[in-house]
Amino acid sequence: DYIESIAECMVPFACLPPERLLDGDALLFKFNGDVIRELVDDYLIPANARVDLTSSTFGRASDFDEHVSNMNVDRGNENHSMNSKSGDAIDFTLETAGEPYTEPIFGMKYWSHPISEALTNQWMESREPKLPPTSSKITLPPVNPFVPRRFDLKDLPKEDSHHPLLFCSLKICVSIGKRKSWFPCTVNKYDSIQNRILLGMEDGEEVWHKVDMKLAEYHKVKQLALNYEGTLDGKKVKFKVISIPKDGEGAVMKYGDESDWHIEDGVHFPHIPP
């Protein structure tokens, strides 16, 4: 059945693009409030209602006996008018309903009567929105305090907010004795209160570093590019951007670039001791 339904959606008159074969026949892509309002206000109304009531209460013992003999009767021209010849609504009872009609396909007995105008008017009045009377057992549910009323995005906390360097992979130049070496790290967090970033090192350690440049100055940079260089902790630590995350991508540790093979002091990428 599933394959058949997809095949039907592929026919030219369905006018469905390939990317909409699975849901195009079920989704409405254009909202038309006027058509919906016209349908609800002018067509889906009690005056146009038809009520089908099915109950064994109205059955007769002779119906089953007659069913076999009626199967061979030609019902092609059978009339399906209402039992009430005058077209007026009447209170239905087996005594006043008259002889039932027979449904032509399955041979079921049925009666047909119009709905009274008084009942239709009562239904029309019930369409108007109103609160139930105080005597009614039907009441509105209590207010749900967990239903949201505001859908705007909440501001990020200042101690964990956005920064152009967030989730970027960096190489920081750290002094080890008299020698300077570059180490890989990732910017995991930004604290706007103290203007500092939390760097995740390769061994899993996390260290806070003060950013020398203010956040407003970073915003002046149109696009943070690879090999962008800056300083941390009052110019004690130098860093270089070696990887920038894509939209929606989290922190990714990139261990280095082509400069890792340089052997000059302060430029090369140190190997990790065992």
Measured CA to CA, the distance from residue 118 to residue 116 in angstroms comes to 5
pLDDT bucket at 114, cuts 50 / 70 / 90 = confident
What does the pLDDT read at residue 233? 92
125 to 29, 107, 115, 159, 176: CA distances (angstroms): 34, 38, 15, 58, 86
Asked if 76 contacts 70 with a C-beta cutoff of 8 angstroms, the reply is no
Q: What percent of the chain has pLDDT over 70?
A: 77
The 10s digit of each residue's pLDDT in 156-198 is 788 788 888 888 899 998 877 778 888 889 999 999 889 999 9
The 10s digit of each residue's pLDDT in 200-244 is 988 889 999 999 988 888 777 656 777 888 999 998 899 988 888
pTM score, whole prediction? 0.41
